[in-house]
Chain A
Amino acid sequence: MSATVRVPTLLRAAVGGAASIEAEGATVGEVLRRAAADHPGFGPAVFEANGSLRRFLNVFLGDEDVRYLQGLDTPVPDGAALVIIPAAAGGAGVGQPAATMGPA
């Protein structure tokens, strides 16, 4: 079975600049590992050393975050599209007490 993996800007250098790649696999993990085999820089960017998905990446299958399905073991229908979305996060950090804010 083949799936399309939509690659975010962050990871495109690892796949030769492509915005999407095709990979075979019956599960999310298999698809991503096959993509990693095809593109050597992709694996370290996507997986932790223990093989889990990097915590700052979210992978959607259809409209669902695979973390709320079966994670990397989530079955992938033939022709499915996986979308990788980097987490958008940050913040002022510690030592920044709240203050009053109003419209400018």
Chain B
Amino acid sequence: MEMPAEIQEAIVAHAAFCLPDEACGLLAAGDDGRLRMAYCLSNATPSPSAYTIDPAEHFRCLRHAEAQGWHLAGVFHSHPGGEAYPSPSDVEQALEPDWLYVVVGPAAEPGVRAFWIRGGTVAEEPLETEAALAVREGR
């Protein structure tokens, strides 16, 4: 999946801004599945090891995304002291089978990784920037 560089930069910047706590936010996509927006949101349970998207902000994002003709397509959060991989807590609380779960780790490479989490099973979705896609497709 392509992750626009601007979205990846916003996610990483929000993760840095929220240190030492976990950062979190939501992702919106268009009907074509292309990611269109990263909503950088409040962690309602601020902690270096947990996050909860503020429900009111979640609802406002839903309204905003749908007003643009998009849909909420995923959630991102950071693991300031862990790796960019879903923890057991992430897997247990992954309630949206159609969502992309993006995790930001403290390491620069790969700092941002994405996963599908369905029925307790984690499958990585490789992320590519537009530039990388263009090179690979010979554009």
Contact = CB atoms under 8 A, between A and B. Distances in A.
Contacts of B55: 58, 65, 85, 87
Contacts, number: 125
Contacts of B94: 90
A104 interface: yes
B15 to A, nearest CB: 6
B49 to A, nearest CB: 5
A45 to B, nearest CB: 11
Interface residues of B, number: 54
B95 A10 contact: yes
Tell me whether chain B's interface is mostly helix, strand or loop, or mixed: mixed
Contact of B19 (A87, A89, A92, A100): A100
Interface of B: 8-9, 12-13, 15-16, 19-22, 24, 26, 45, 47-53, 55-56, 58-60, 62-63, 75, 77-82, 86-98, 104-106, 108-109, 111-112
